[in-house]
Structure 1
Amino acid sequence: MDFSKGSVIWLTGLAGSGKSYIAEALCERLRFKYKNVIYLDGDELRDLLGSYDYDKQGRINMALKRSQFAHFLSSQGMMVIVSTISMFKEIYDYNRKTLKNYCEIYIQCELEELIRRDKKNLYTKAINKEIINVVGIDLKYDEPKPNLIIDNNQFGNLEQKVDNILNFLKL
């Protein structure tokens, strides 16, 4: 596969797992070599489309829109990097069926670690029943079967994690 000519690199993981952090660094590195790189952040795209339903169906609908947008861009030769929770079987299946030159990367981080580093108190509020529809607490997620897993339980070396992705993609 030639990821440099129209592709989607989909980074998925729970809130706080480091998806955006790794995706931004990946995008920055790729832009040194390629001019056709675009980054779609899950939250930013949600704001752009005005989609704020956080129940499971709302999240699936938003993920499908995100996937369709990525498909639109990749079909025009863009290398699209997406960072999003989107941890539902329907999305994995849709992406694999629809997106050409698609690579799914799971930014894995244990729930205990996510709770420990929870800056927004998202998990704490969900555990205390102050908020609902938090994936991993009251919304069950489907563990992905990705092309690549990046263990982000330790903050560790960002450059090494990006290198692992680039080596896997042969970019």
Structure 2
Amino acid sequence: MKKGLVVWICGLAGSGKSTIAREVRNKLSLYQDNVIYLDGDELREILGNFDYDRDSRIEMAKKRALMANFLAQQGMIVLVSTISLFNEIYTFNRALMNSYCEIFVDCDFEELLKRDQKNLYSNAINKKIINVVGVDIPFDIPQADLVVHNNKQEALQNNVAMIIETIQSRI
């Protein structure tokens, strides 16, 4: 059986986690037939509609981790893109998973504001909405296996290459 791995790609909303994860999946799938991508938003719909407060986000992240670990134990390389920027999650994941790789997608807040297509940050700053990680919910920067900086669009291919290299060193 192939060796499984959970690749936890975390970062703030708009940092490029999903774009990076999709591109990593596309490139890895060219020579690996055991790659699966679990998008945070899509998985939220499948596992249940939790609230967005800190405790609910942690509960949802644990469910994501359990699902990803289940698949990795069956030999899948599981890419998970998620905000989940809390020490409780990093600790939970490291205790749960034998084969785990944490990637932090770092992006300047000014850039996140430029990318704010859903007005998430602007609405949170203007107090129109609450429970936005990075605005009214503080987050913990992980001690990740790899940090990629995603402030410019041209960084995408370089970030993808670094992540694939990290994955290859683990499988």
- TM-score between both structures, scaled by the size of structure 2: 0.95
Instruction: Quote how far apart the aligned CAs of 1:26 are.
Output: 0.2
| Residue aligning to 1:123 | 121
- Distance in structure 1 (CA, Å) of the matches to 2:102 and 2:130: 27
Of 10, 23, 36, 1:25 maps to 23
What is the SS of the residue equivalent to 1:129? coil
Structure 1, unpaired ranges of 5+: none
**1:112 matches 2:110:** yes
**1:85 matches 2:51:** no
Instruction: Calculate percent identity across the aligned residue pairs.
Output: 52
Matches within 5 A, 1:7-18: 7-18=5-16
Report the count of equivalent residues.
Answer: 168
Is the CA contact 2:107–2:150 (under 8 Å) kept in the aligned structure 1?
yes
- TM-score between both structures, scaled by the size of structure 1: 0.95
| Residue aligning to 2:92 | 94
- Distance in structure 2 (CA, Å) of the matches to 1:169 and 1:43: 23
- Per-residue CA deviation, residues 71-100 of structure 1 (Å, 9 max, x unaligned), is 111111111000000000000001111112
Is the CA contact 1:6–1:75 (under 8 Å) kept in the aligned structure 2?
yes
| Residue aligning to 2:36 | 38
| Aligned residue identity for 2:141 | E
What is the SS of the residue equivalent to 1:136? coil
What value does the CA root-mean-square deviation take over the aligned residues? 1.1
Moved more, 138-147 or 111-120: 111-120
Structure 2, unpaired ranges of 5+: none
Of 57, 60, 63, 2:61 maps to 63
- Distance in structure 1 (CA, Å) of the matches to 2:69 and 2:167: 19
Is the CA contact 1:59–1:86 (under 8 Å) kept in the aligned structure 2?
yes
Moved more, 119-128 or 153-162: 153-162
Of 101, 104, 112, 1:103 maps to 101
- Distance in structure 2 (CA, Å) of the matches to 1:39 and 1:117: 23
